[in-house]
Homo-oligomer: A and B are copies of this chain.
Amino acid sequence: MENPFTDEYFMRKALQEAEAAYGKGEIPVGAVIVVDNKIIARSHNLTEMLHDVTAHAEMQSVTAAANFLGGKYLKGCTLYVTLEPCQMCAGALYWSQISKIVYGADDDHRGYRTMGGRLHPKTEVVSGVMAGEAGELIRRFFAERRK
């Protein structure tokens, strides 16, 4: 039997979170954190609603996953996030020593690769998973805002 728990499977869950953000007028970025094929955290960007620049999807999921696990390190965990993390989120992920990060669309302007942030050397990174869907959602959001 084929394994249903592919990177695409979990990225689709992160995309559902991004769509929830979209529906609230937030820049549509969503995230889930997975351990042993189980989702232990899910979140979406809430910076506008909370008036808080730290309320990125990744930050909320890092806090929620650590709370679930009862410890601050996310070894054995995988983060799925629809957009390349910014330097703030890369920094949080660095401190968490998370095992794997899978992200969708690149963020050539504010992503950690451009801004100069650094992930933990033990963290594996996979990019481009469902990047088309993730990027299209963000483009649609900003196109509507410009109207």
Which A residues have a C-beta under 8 Å from some C-beta of B? 47-48, 50-54, 59, 62-63, 66-67, 69-73, 86-92, 94-96, 115-118
Selected from B63, B69, B90, the residue in CB contact (under 8 A) with A54 is: B63
Selected from B48, B50, B73, B94, the residue in CB contact (under 8 A) with A87 is: B94
- Give A88 to B115 CA distance when docked, in angstroms: 12
Selected from B48, B50, B67, B95, the residue in CB contact (under 8 A) with A88 is: B95
9 residue pairs, one from A and one from B, having the closest CB atoms: A88-B91, A116-B116, A53-B95, A87-B91, A51-B72, A88-B92, A53-B96, A54-B92, A53-B72
Selected from B89, B92, B117, the residue in CB contact (under 8 A) with A116 is: B117
Q: A88-B88, A115-B117, A116-B116 are contacts. A67–B51 as well, Cβ < 8 Å?
A: yes
Q: List 6 A-B contacts (CB under 8 A).
A: A51-B67, A88-B90, A88-B91, A116-B116, A116-B118, A117-B117
Contact B51 A70 (CB under 8 A): yes
A91-B91, A91-B117 are known contacts; what are 7 more A-B pairs with Cβ within 8 Å?
Answer: A51-B67, A53-B92, A54-B95, A87-B118, A88-B90, A90-B91, A115-B117
Contact A66 B51 (CB under 8 A): yes
Contact A90 B92 (CB under 8 A): no
- Give A57 to B94 CA distance when docked, in angstroms: 17
